[in-house]
Amino acid sequence: MASPSKKKSSAKPAAKKSEPRVAVVTGSTSGIGLGIANALAAEGCHIVLNGFGDSKEIESIRSGLEKTYKVRAIYVDCDLSKPAQVQKLIHVAEEKFGRVDILVNNAGMQYVAPVQEFSGEKWEQLLSVNLSASFYTIHEALPGMQQRGFGRIINIASAHGLVASKNKSAYVASKHGLVGLTKVVALENATADITCNAICPGWVLTPLVQAQIDTNAEKEHIPVKDAEIKLLSEKQPSLRFATPEEIGALVVYLCSESARSITGTTLSIDGGWTAQ
């Protein structure tokens, strides 16, 4: 992932300069989540990181956010497939910072197999991480947002929250469910300055996707660039990957005062995938 720009956008999360917003971003130690964490930190938000990875690398990310953007950043290690640990994530954030203003549910996982061959264990795991974890973070963060009269909840769904693909039953079901949860939360908080939206990316060039491209290239004995184009051409008419920075910029906008009337909707960053 390219290094984030230090230049701040004009769409800043609504907050007094003396009171920086506090943002929890799940799955933020790499890929899309890290892009979002960087984008929010660049706007002056304190950051609560969560995700897997090498402990030294995670500490480097955490300290890097603080050094680069002059904000506070903490890391909370928790297994998002376990409700009690998901609740702990929000509780620790509130204990350390006093509140959670912005919640970005980004963490997710994938498993591919036809329905009749799909592992029941994998089904439960994907539903837990991709959908139930978002319910539990929202469940814990909402009361404080309602008490303070401000909140921004952004669920990173997928193009697969709007359309389907073969062999991805759990992923598609979980992302469709996440879009539905987004709408319900938005409606229940429509009269408050609390919004809930879903971002639906198509192919994004993350380390996991790059690994998939490299594997396909080796398997088919073709150049990596050809494997990349082949992957994109199946779904994404632009033949260009979206980037974590682009998604981060949209998150920043959705957290701003200018976006306070945008709620309960899905916003696609998919190069035309779902326009077909």
So which residues are the catalytic ones? Answer: 171
Name the strands in the sheet holding 102-105, side by side, starting at the edge strand that comes first in the sequence: 73-75, 46-49, 22-25, 102-105, 151-156, 194-201, 266-269
Per DSSP (E only), the strands in 116-271 are 151-156, 194-201, 266-269
Between vectors from CA 78 to CA 54 and to CA 145, what angle results, nearest 5°?
125
Q: CA-to-CA distance for 22 and 261, rounded, in angstroms?
A: 21
Per-residue tokens: 127: 């539903």
Residue appearing with tokens 């992957």: 231
- Please give the helix or strand (H or E) that residue 53 lies within, else none: none
Burial of 212 (0-12, 13-18, 19+ CB in 10 A): middle
Amino acid identity for residue 220 in this structure = E
Sign of the C-alpha dihedral computed for residues 256, 20, 73 and 183 taken in this order: negative
Q: Which two tokens stand for residue 58?
A: 């995670």
* Residue recorded with tokens 């979206």: 242
